[in-house]
Amino acid sequence: MDTDSKLVSIMRLLSGNGGSAKQEHRRKRLFQAGFSGPGVLYQYSFVKLLSGLTAAIIAFCMLIGLSILSNLPTDRWLLFCAFGFLMGYTLPSLLVRRLAQRYVDRIARDLPDALDLMLVCVEAGQSLDQSLTRVARSMKRIHPELAARFAATSEALKAGEDRADAFARLAYVTDNLDLQSFAAVVLQASSMGTPISDTFRIYAEEQRERRFSRIEEKANMLPTKMTLGTMMFTVPSLLLLLLTPAVYSILQSF
């Protein structure tokens, strides 16, 4: 076995190719974080391995720089380097998870605006496929992530993909429960012959109310957070100001 095949085997082992569901979930997370491509899983595994080795080398250099390597048993400095490797190996996963969560939050924040614009397009006489294309083109500069997903869904529908599958993929990639319910509402309206404009109007109004409720929830949590911050930064200084004269008087009495 040559070097390239050994490297591929190691990357396949580290990327967890044993389970297709776990592999697909990891690929979706990388896509949400902004990393895509045919070999993204192997690249991600290589970056994790490189990060772990770099952290282990940094830990070893720290031991040498502090001049305590000679005073430590072998198992202790090996354990310290292994801990550094573990921290470095975990760091890319935490970064990808954070970037993916930001992507999901942006999709949830931008969805009500997209639904309002889609409602305008549908009421103007455009079909659902045309409204998706129009929304994707109009929101490209304002909300690029959601516009890209709408454009991909529109292209899939033009290519002849089933509407249920296209909207299911849209909801799966974005990890948005509102898009899942949106897909169910659209499919139900199409199957039952309900006017799509009425469905959009009701659903857009519900989304707007849900958005306001989320804003109100965050606003209601703000006084509690401010109270904790105020206590953390105000109470110690206040106690110091009040107790310093008493402590000084007690010390002077001895």
Note the pLDDT tens digit of each residue in 137-189.
888 888 888 888 888 888 888 888 887 788 888 888 888 777 777 777 777 77
Can you read off the two tokens belonging to residue 125?
């006489």
More confident residue, 66 or 233: 233
CA 222 to chain centre: 23
> What does the pLDDT average to over 65-93?
78
Where do you find CATH 1.20.81 in the chain?
106-212
Secondary structure (H, E, C), 24-61: HHHHHHHHHCCCCCCCHHHHHHHHHHHHHHHHHHHHHH
Residue 13: the pLDDT is: 45
How far apart CA 232 and CA 3 sit, in angstroms, is 57
pLDDT digit string (tens) for 23-61? 888 888 888 888 888 888 888 889 999 998 998 888 888
Instruction: Say if residue 19's pLDDT is above 60.
Output: no
Q: CA nearest 187: which of 207, 206, 166?
A: 166
Percentage, residues of the chain above pLDDT 70: 87
Report pLDDT for 95: 92
Size (the chain), residues: 254
Q: Are 146 and 132 in contact (CB under 8 A)?
A: no
Higher per-residue pLDDT: 137 or 209: 137
Confidence of residue 94 (pLDDT cuts 50, 70, 90): very high
pLDDT band of 214, cuts 50, 70, 90: confident
CA dist 60 and 58 (Å) reads 5
Read off the pLDDT band of 98 (50, 70, 90). very high
Higher pLDDT, 210 or 83: 83
Q: CATH: 1.25.40, 1.20.81, 1.10.20, 3.40.50. Which one for 106-212?
A: 1.20.81
Whole-structure pTM value: 0.70
| Residues 199-215 as b or e (16 or more Cβ within 10 Å = b) | bbbebbeebeeebeeee
51-55, 87-91, 108-112, 229-233: range with lowest mean pLDDT: 229-233
Q: What is the mean pLDDT of the chain?
A: 79
How much is the average pLDDT of 225-237?
A: 79
